[in-house]
């Protein structure tokens, strides 16, 4: 005969506000990253840079891997993240919101299909005007359901 005993567990630990085991992510400025790249190009090895800046070697290697983008960056002091800029042409497409508001004010009904058709039409018009005034590359735009959901 086997007796089953209830499983007794220790009570949950209450975390204090000053828990030193949890590290907060450290952001590295673009300026610091450029210093690391310059020192590496002057002959400093990765492990020395890691000790000097109190970072993991993998972090230093990641910075060195992205050195072309970091060198090309012209940013303000204190900036930590490089982000890709949205194409101007896609910003212009969002003028569609003004058109939708005008339609709603006049009492016209607008649905997803009408909005997507208008967005494609506006994008085509913008392509014609932008290609005639500049040699910018053509950005692809699809008025898909995903675009509509994000636009909404």
For the chain, which residues make up each domain, given as ranges? 30-72, 88-151
Q: Tokens at residue 151, please?
A: 């636009």
Is the pTM for the entire model greater than 0.75? no
Is there a contact between 110 and 96 (Cβ–Cβ < 8 Å)? no
How many beta carbons lie within 10 A of that of residue 126, not counting itself? 19
Task: pLDDT band for 133, please (50, 70, 90 cuts).
Answer: low
What is the Cβ-side half-sphere exposure of residue 104, based on CA atoms within 13 angstroms?
A: 8
Residue 84, helix vs strand vs coil = coil
How far from the centroid of its chain's Cα atoms is residue 101's Cα?
29
Kind and range of the H or E run holding 147:
helix 145-151
The pLDDT assigned to 82 comes to 65
Summarised one tens digit per residue, pLDDT across range 5-62 is: 667 777 777 766 555 567 777 788 888 899 999 999 999 999 999 999 999 999 999 9
pLDDT in tens, 78-111: 566 666 666 666 666 667 777 888 888 888 888 8
């Amino acid at each position: 005969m086997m007796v089953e005993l209830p499983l007794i567990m220790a009570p949950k630990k209450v975390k204090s506000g000053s828990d030193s085991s949890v590290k907060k992510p450290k952001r590295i400025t673009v300026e610091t990253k450029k210093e690391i790249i310059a020192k590496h190009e002057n002959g400093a090895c990765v492990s020395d840079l890691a000790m000097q800046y109190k970072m993991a070697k993998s972090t230093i290697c990641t910075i060195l891997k992205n050195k072309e983008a970091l060198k090309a960056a012209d940013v303000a002091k204190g900036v930590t993240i490089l982000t890709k800029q949205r194409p101007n042409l896609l910003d212009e497409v969002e003028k569609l919101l003004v058109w939708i508001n005008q339609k709603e004010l006049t009492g016209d009904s607008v649905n997803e299909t009408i909005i997507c058709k208008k967005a494609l039409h506006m994008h085509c018009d913008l392509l014609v005007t932008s290609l005639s005034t500049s040699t910018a590359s053509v950005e692809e735009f699809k008025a898909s359901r995903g675009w509509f959901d994000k636009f909404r």
